[in-house]
Structure formats: C-alpha cells, structure tokens
Chain A
Amino acid sequence: MKYKKYLLVAAAAVLVATASIKPAMAYFTDYQVATGYRTIKLGDSELTPPEDSVSDMVKTVSITNTGDYDVFVRVKAIAPEGVGVKLNKDSSSNWVLVGDYYYYLSSKDSNDVENDGLVLPVGKSTEPLKLDIVEPTDKNLKGHNFNVVIVQEATKVLYHQNGQTFADWKLKINGEVAD
C-alpha cells in the first residue's frame, strides 16, 4: 500500500511543476496580417446608332460611345453589287481603311489596327467618316434604288502591362486572348 501514497504525492508534484512551465519553451516569433480588395466593373459597351446622313451621294457617319468604358470602334459599309464605296477626301484622317473595315486610328499612315487605335472615351463622338457612294455604271443596275448598310463595331480597350492600350478585334467570347 505504501507505493500508492508515493504515487499520489508524485502526481501532485508533477501537477504543480507542469502548471508553471508553459510559455518558457516557445521560440520567439511575431506575425502581421493585412488584407484588402478592389472591385472591377465590366459593363456592356454601347454605341449610339450611327448618325449617318447622305447628301450628294456622300454618306457621313459618326459614332458616340454611350457605354460604361472606353472602346475602339470600326465601321463596315455593305453595299450591293456594282455600287462602289470610297473614302471621301474630306473625311477625318483618323479613319483608315484596313481590310473590309474603316478603323478609327490615331495615325492615318498606320495600318496597325491593334496598337494604333484611337480610344473613344465614354460620352465622346468620333470625327465624321465620309464615304463617297459611286452609283453603278452597269446598264442593268442603273436607276434602281439601293441601300448602303453601315455596320459599327466596338471592342473594349485592353492594356499591356506598361499601360499601353491595344485592341483585340479577334476577341471572341469565351476565347483566349494573349496576356
């Protein structure tokens, strides 16, 4: 029976000893935390219907950006067979024909539609695009009524890491863009 007594005394001693150890065995440490967030907005891009008018067979087009953010714009003129569409000499030099589209660019000598686009800020309108409509010369087509359809397109202004703007006209929904 004697060992039982020693056991109890020993247990009590251990209890007292452990109660006073705790913090002394830790290493010196410290930490800090900081968090933050910022919201991004990706509204729809919206353009007004093109303000176009025809006088003396010159079609004038101007586009206004009514969306939430800056865009690049381009215009395509679809004309029936035999009808010619040409850039008028009085047209703003910002409009440059590249491929099938008239692009709104910062330089008239450029055909780099990706990097030289002129940003159309929110609420602003483009310089007028003037197109000469050339009536068909073919006998069979002459004298008939025809329509020239103006299609306008816009794409969101994208940024390279250095802040330089660029346009991705091939940007497809759910497609991949280069970073």
Chain B
Amino acid sequence: MRKIVKNPLFVLAAGCLVVLGSSIGATRAAFVYKSAAEEVDFHTSNVKVALLEGTKESDVKDVSDEAVLSFPGIPEEDVKIGQEYPEVVSVKNTSNQYKEYIRVTVKKFWVKTDEDGQLEKDTSLDPSLIKLDIDKTNGKWFEDTTAETAEEEVYYLPSPVECQEVVPLIKGVTISNKVVTAVETKNATDNDGNAISGTIEDTYIYDGGSFYVDVKVDAVQSHNGAKAMCGAWGVDAKCDAEDDGNIISINGVSASN
C-alpha cells in the first residue's frame, strides 16, 4: 500500500481526479423544486455603452441592437453628389452607476455588388471621398493620429462620460464632387457587344458603388483609467488622475489638439 501511494503516477492520477471533480458539482445536485419567485436576480452593475443615430441631435435612436446604420437623412435613391446630408451618430453611456472612457473607431470604404449579389469591398476606390463631418466642437473628440489610415480613424473623448450622457460624434456625410471626375475610357460597344470603331465611351468608376460606414464604440471603466485603457485597448494613455481623470495624451498624441 505504501508503495502505491509513493508512486508518482498515483499522485498525478489523484491530482487529476481533484481537478475533474471540481468541475462536476452541479450535475450531482438532487432534484429541487422551486418557484420562480424565489429566485433572486443578483448581478453587479456594468460599464455599458450605446450607439445612437438620427438626422439631428434631438431625434437620435439607439441602434445598438440592430447594429445597422440606416442613414435616415440620406435619400434611398439619387444621392446628390457634393451635398452634405444630415447624419448624426452619437454615443451614450448607458450605465447606471459608472463613468467611462469612450473611444470610437470609424471605418469608411467603398463596396460594390459582385455577380452573386454579395457586397464586396472595392479597395481601388478612394475612401477619402467619403467625408464624415466629425463634431469636434462641443464633444471635444480628438483623433489618435498614430492609428489613422485612409480607411480608419480613431477618436477619443478626453474626459470620462457621465452616466446617461449623450455625446454626438458624426454630424453629416458628404460624397465629394471628385467622384464624377473619375472615369474609365473604353472602346464603345453596340448592344451585341461588338466594338464600334472610332468611338470611345467614358464610364464613371464610382457608378453603382456604395459607400460603407462602420462605427465601433468602445467603453472602459474610468477607475484606474490609464491601466484600464492599456489593458483593454492596448494604448499608451496618460491621465491627470488615477481615477476619473482627464486624458492628457493617447499614444503620445495630445488630447488638447
């Protein structure tokens, strides 16, 4: 008997048994009958955030559940080139208890429909012709320019957002007039596909293209803010206080613009 106990394999097996046994627990419970009223809803408050969309700041609706931007201010047909359409995208701290730091990642690019009717990203078209009017005035959003690409921009709010506070981010969308200057010149063809000699045809490269906007909002706790941002978002943040402080810089980019 002593010999078996000393055997390392036996010790390992015993260890494994302890590990496995710890995960069984509930399945061995006896049948218990109880009514729903006896249950206690017991949970901690969470950091929560929501995305809102509308045509003006006063009529924004929560679109977090559908996760779809419907561009209510832009007509379905006949988007006028060069005109700024109202498109308000706001963020809201929906927590009941906690302030939070908020950042937003905005992606914009062009998509075209392929033969199967699926949307496909078209990287040959210039994302900078989709102009999003970022509200930098009252919200004081500042951009982390080290993370900027032609397609993607990252904006931070320098102070923690209070519970239930709404901060507008995007005010409008404009498609630049430059899209009408990009054309492709081809030999013209008749209805049967035969080339018509001596005739060329210009087609708009952006015709039938769709501008695609992807907005992601991130929130993180404001307690121990710099470390929380580093841990959750992987950015080098400097704050003027450990808890609920204002952001001084992100990745070396000053928050005061």
Contact = CB atoms under 8 A, between A and B. Distances in A.
Q: Is the interface of B mostly helix, strand, loop or mixed?
A: mixed
Interface residues of A, number: 48
Given A32-B217, A40-B79, A175 B181 contact: yes
Nearest to A168: B177
B49 interface: yes
Interface string A152-171: 00001111111100001001
B84 interface: yes
A174 B67 contact: no
B15 A40 contact: no
B119 A8 contact: no
A100 interface: no
A12 B221 CA distance: 35
Interface string B18-39: 1100110000000000000000
Interface stretch (A23-31, A80-88, A101-109, A141-149): A23-31
A32 B49 contact: yes
A160 to B, nearest CB: 7
Nearest to B201: A44
A32 B67 contact: yes
B251 to A, nearest CB: 18
Task: Report which residue of A8, A37, A158 has the largest number of chain B beta carbons within 10 angstroms of its beta carbon.
Answer: A37
A42 interface: yes
A5 B68 CA distance: 59
B181 A161 contact: no
A43 B207 contact: yes
A174 B74 contact: no
A163 B179 CA distance: 17
Given A159-B82, A171-B180, A34 B64 contact: yes
A168 B181 CA distance: 11
Given A5-B11, A27-B232, A173-B202, A34 B67 contact: yes
Interface stretch (B136-144, B208-216, B241-249): B208-216
Contact of B81 (A4, A12, A40): A40
A40 B47 contact: no
B209 A12 contact: no
A179 B109 CA distance: 19
Given A36-B71, A173-B181, A31 B19 contact: no
B96 interface: no
Contacts of B250: none
B111 A31 contact: no
A38 B81 CA distance: 12
4 A-B pairs closest in CB distance:
A12-B15, A36-B69, A159-B83, A42-B204
Interface of B: 6, 8, 11-12, 14-16, 18-19, 22-23, 46-51, 53, 63-64, 66-71, 74, 76-84, 89, 98, 100, 111, 119, 174-183, 185, 202, 204, 206-221, 224, 227-228, 231-232
24 contacts: A5-B8, A12-B11, A12-B14, A12-B16, A13-B15, A16-B18, A16-B22, A27-B227, A28-B47, A31-B49, A31-B216, A33-B216, A34-B51, A35-B69, A36-B212, A40-B81, A40-B211, A41-B77, A156-B180, A157-B80, A158-B180, A163-B83, A171-B180, A179-B82
